[in-house]
Amino acid sequence: MVAAGSHVAVYIDFDNVVISRANQAKARGEDLTVAIDVLLDFATRYGRLTISRAYADWSVTKNADYRDQLVSRAVELVQLFPATKTKNGADIRLAVDAIEDLYLHEDLTHVVIAAGDSDFVPLAQRARRLGRIVLGVGVAGSISRALASACDVYVDYDELLRDRRDLDVAAEREEPQQVPDPSRPQGAGPPPRRAYSLLKEALSGLQEQHPERQWHPLSALKTQVLRIEPTFTERVYGAGSFSELLGRYSSQIEVRENRARAR
């Protein structure tokens, strides 16, 4: 169960994630990239993202291609200079930063480690001894069983990606036409995420945080939406209020007395 006021720290061994994804692509003969939103939305289910860091040599093209995605989600890019030909630089820097954060920020309740490397087992074990809940995310084919065992929860990135795709398909079915925001200027960047997908992801987060509840206050639901998408406003979706927006999806989201639940 997730405690009220949970604070989450996310540490991404970005080289590991990108290389693992590239190996998947080679094995499958596909063009596979890393969906940053999927990873961060998973972390957001457990509370407010207080620290988000990605570790890599950002001068390398395959990493630099993701900089805009990461910066748009307020992820701090930690530059690792290739002083040696070994890979341990990222592991050591990430682990040192994480342990320092755990001692400096006592309000951190959850630690997310996005990596598959067994070198992070001591970090996971120490974080748990310090009373934190440890969540691991790995890419299929590079998942260490030892690291998975050292975490409270360990998930396969591919499973998260499948869940997102299923949600996007459902959003297309529930909301075939995205309602445009008349005040949004043309060329103002990519269109906002579909409202149905955003609301369902937020409900999933509340259910993860409060499994004992069947109904969630609308204020808590909107707070969770804002954790996922800080620029969220109802008018982007042509709605005058949060309740009005929810009312469009009454077949999937039930609202009663300022509370909501998934049907």
H or E element that contains 72: helix 67-72
Name all domains of the chain by residue range, CATH numbers in brackets: 7-162 (3.40.50.1010), 175-262 (3.30.420)
Q: Which of 40, 97, 47, 22 is nearest to 210 (CA)?
A: 47
pLDDT digits (tens, 9 = 90+) for 61-115: 888 999 998 998 899 999 988 655 555 667 889 999 999 999 999 999 999 999 8
Q: How confident is the model at residue 58 (pLDDT cuts 50, 70, 90)?
A: very high
d(CA 9, CA 102): 9
Q: What is the pLDDT of residue 151?
A: 94
pTM of the model: 0.81
Residue 119's pLDDT band (cuts 50, 70, 90)? confident
Question: Rounded to the nearest 10 degrees, what angle do helices 218-228 and 195-209 cross at?
Answer: 110
pLDDT over 50 (residue 1): no
Using DSSP's 3-state secondary structure scheme, residue 209 falls into: helix
Mean pLDDT of 21-42: 77
Render pLDDT for 193-251 as a digit per residue (tens, 0 to 9): 888 889 999 999 999 888 899 999 999 999 999 988 888 999 888 888 999 999 988 88
Distance of CA 227 to CAs 103, 199, 207, 246, Å?
A: 25, 12, 15, 17
Contact 68, 28 (CB under 8 A): no
What are 133-146's pLDDT values in tens digits?
999 998 766 677 88
Class of residue 26 by CB neighbours under 10 A (exposed 0-12, middle 13-18, buried 19+): exposed
- In the chain the beta strands, taken as DSSP E runs, fall at 7-13, 48-56, 76-79, 110-114, 133-138, 153-156, 216-217, 253-256, 259-262
Report the C-alpha gap between 77 and 54 in whole angstroms.
Answer: 5
pLDDT in tens, 150-208: 999 999 888 888 888 888 887 777 765 555 555 555 545 556 788 888 999 999 999 98
